[in-house]
Amino acid sequence: MKNQIPYYQQIGKEVEVFEHAYKNKIPFLLKGPTGTGKSRFIEFMAHQLAKKLITISCHEETSSTDLIGRYIIKGAETIWMDGPLTIAIKNGSIIYLDEIAEARPDVIVAIHSLTDHRRELFIDKLGETVKAHQDFMLVASFNPGYQKGFKELKPSTRQRFIATSFAYPNEKIEAEILVNETGIEASIAKKLVNIATKIRNLTELGLAETVSTRLLVDAAKLIHSGLPKRLAVEVAIVEPLTDDLDVIEALKDLCNLMI
Ligand code: ADP
């Protein structure tokens, strides 16, 4: 599995843009809702560039210590352990800070000197500055959902990255992704994509997030492994989207008509 090329269907010019960003080691921000292929894209690019990828899924407790490193007690000794960011900087890996806006503010502060001409990290607990390896690159993702609960990224931070938006692919490409990813029949893939398009356009439902390609892939996998189509759509597409019983019923009726 390890050496297999990650399957990634290009949507626009993101591969070319990333290659140039990597050549110039400009930090890269992937913007877009969950399940739009951001992680898969970066896995693919790391593979193409033959670079090790270190992924950190940021959450509200993620601190600069988690990334940079900490002292740990081993037997009678206290020893320093580099964190994943420090390891990536020293080894020249690509680090991917997934959902960077979720992390604590000290993470953003810590990466500042890495995202400009200095390309260095100050480790305050050691009083040391580490220069980044020439192959090191910083990549982050951010979900610019404007609804409650999503954190913003400050303009001063955003301007340290070049950025690409990830959205849902067009219907033809999305159906191709489903076929390639799951082995499902093209006609069923098309129906699933039609359902997604329909639900994505139902803005009046006020869903926090709409149907992602990831949900479609899950539905396709279940159908491919033999689960009845309507049940697969219900559990993989409708139920994850909402807990509102009326909306669930309405979406189920709609999907049943379409598959
Ligand atoms: P994100 O990181 O944006 O939340 P992922 O990269 O994890 O999303 O994508 C979720 C799933 O959707 C992937 O595991 C893959 O099956 C599928 N997918 C989405 N976009 C693509 C794409 N362009 N090419 C291949 N697979 C894709």
For residues 174 and 168, the answer to whether their CB atoms sit within 8 Å is: yes
The residue nearest atom 18 of ligand 1, judged by CA position, is: 37
Q: What is the CATH number of domain 14-165?
A: 3.40.50.300
153 CA to middle of ligand 1, Å? 23
Pocket test of ligand 1: the residue of 43, 214, 216, 222 to mutate, having most ligand atoms within 8 Å of its CB, is 214
Nearest to 9 by CA among 256, 149, 217: 217
Give me the residues of the chain with pLDDT under 70, please: 1-3, 146-150
Closest atom, ligand 1, to C-alpha of 98: 2
Note the pTM of the prediction, 2 decimals: 0.92
Would you state the torsion angle of the CA atoms of residues 76, 78, 81, 83, taken in this order, to the nearest 10 degrees? 120
251 CA to middle of ligand 1, Å? 23
**pLDDT digit string, tens, across residues 173-224:** 999 999 999 999 999 999 999 999 999 999 888 887 899 999 999 999 999 9
Question: What is the rounded distance in angstroms from the CA atom of residue 21 to the CA atom of residue 38?
Answer: 16
- Look at residue 1 in the predicted model and tell me its pLDDT: 47
85 CA to middle of ligand 1, Å? 24
Q: Where are the domains of the chain?
A: 14-165, 171-258
